[in-house]
Structure 1
Amino acid sequence: MGQHAHSHNELAGADLVAEAARALVASGEQWTSMREAVFAELARHERPVSAYDIADNLSAARGKRVAPNSVYRILDVFVAGNLAMRVESANAYLANTHPGCAHDCIFLVCDECGEAAHVDDEEVSRAVRAIAAQRNFKAERPVLEIRGLCKACA
């Protein structure tokens, strides 16, 4: 009960990159070759990845230095546009595999291997937003992180 009811259409690879491009352009932003490169690099990772890792990987692939600050700015655009999610405690990012769906971020973060499983739970999201509203606080981007051990590491 409380789990996300609608089907998500989990996307990957070229389909995910194309949907991210469509969603970003629809929001009024530009889809540049650099943004595409950053998103494609982010999307190929199953675990949260830092802006520095993305910058290093793109620098190696392109044969010229990509500045982490540039990557951070692009990731900020992706988070604002719901194309990526930030795992706050790890200062790392995950591609949103269903960019068209807006919902709050609930992460189960493994302290051993670093895996961050994203969970959708409308009941929890409503409760968190209600707590904020009761205190006259407008929740813009709720992120819940539950630290512990994943099944493989437990």
Structure 2
Amino acid sequence: MTMAVPSHQHHELLGDDLASAARTRLEKAGEQWTTMRASVFEALAGFDKPASAYDIAEAVSGREGRRVAANSVYRILDLFVGANLARRVESANAYVANAHPGCLHDCIFLVCDTCGQTTHLDDDRITRGVRTAAEATGFSPERPVIEVRGKCADCG
């Protein structure tokens, strides 16, 4: 029996459409879309699994033909997370591009311990429950991130 997951709907963006939406979102946040930020976002969006700042720095360095420091990439990734262009997979210390940067929501990540594949899903019922439980203790949740570790369907 398959249960419907309460969620909100997104149109997942890819390629140039995603980069354009990310640029628009960043500029609306009062930041500039620099060449380096565009390169970091393009590299991040090009990974099919969560990528570390080192992975991204290596990808950008290869494309640019010059060494890009991971410290610079970390600063840009922090900016991207704050502007909703990227999400941090906390347990992997890695990042994924947000395929719908115009939508603010809480994250649930399903992380495969075997292959590293990470699936992002939305279930407003679960995240609302987490927020309600936190608020009941007097805690003010700002950015709930739920990670479920296990095995994906391919590795299970």
Q: Does the pair score TM above 0.5?
A: yes
User: How many residues get paired?
Assistant: 153
Alignment match, 1:31:
33
- Please tell me whether the aligned partners of residues 87 and 107 of structure 1 are also in contact (alpha carbons under 8 angstroms): yes
Q: Give the 3-state SS of the residue equivalent to 2:110 in structure 1.
A: strand
Q: Give the 3-state SS of the residue equivalent to 1:47 in structure 2.
A: coil
1:143 to 2:145 alignment: yes
Distance 2:25 2:32 in 1: 10
- Pick the aligned partner of 1:120 from 118, 122, 126: 122
Cα shift readout 1:11-36 (whole Å, capped 9, x = no counterpart)? 00011000000011011111111111
Q: Give the 3-state SS of the residue equivalent to 2:13 in structure 1.
A: coil
Alignment match, 1:58:
60
Alpha-carbon offset, residue 2 of structure 1: 4.2
Q: Give the 3-state SS of the residue equivalent to 2:32 in structure 1.
A: coil
Structural RMSD (CA) = 0.9
Q: Give the 3-state SS of the residue equivalent to 1:147 in structure 2.
A: strand
- Please tell me whether the aligned partners of residues 2 and 124 of structure 1 are also in contact (alpha carbons under 8 angstroms): no
4+ residue runs of structure 1 moved beyond 4 angstroms? none
Alpha-carbon offset, residue 3 of structure 1: 2.6
Q: Give the 3-state SS of the residue equivalent to 1:152 in structure 2.
A: coil
Alignment match, 2:106:
104
Alpha-carbon offset, residue 131 of structure 1: 1.0
Question: Percent identity among equivalent residues?
Answer: 56
Q: Return 5+ residue gaps in structure 1 as ranges.
A: none
Distance 1:10 1:29 in 2: 23
Alignment match, 1:4:
7
Distance 1:134 1:99 in 2: 30
TM-score (norm 1): 0.96
Matches within 5 A, 1:89-100: 89-100=91-102
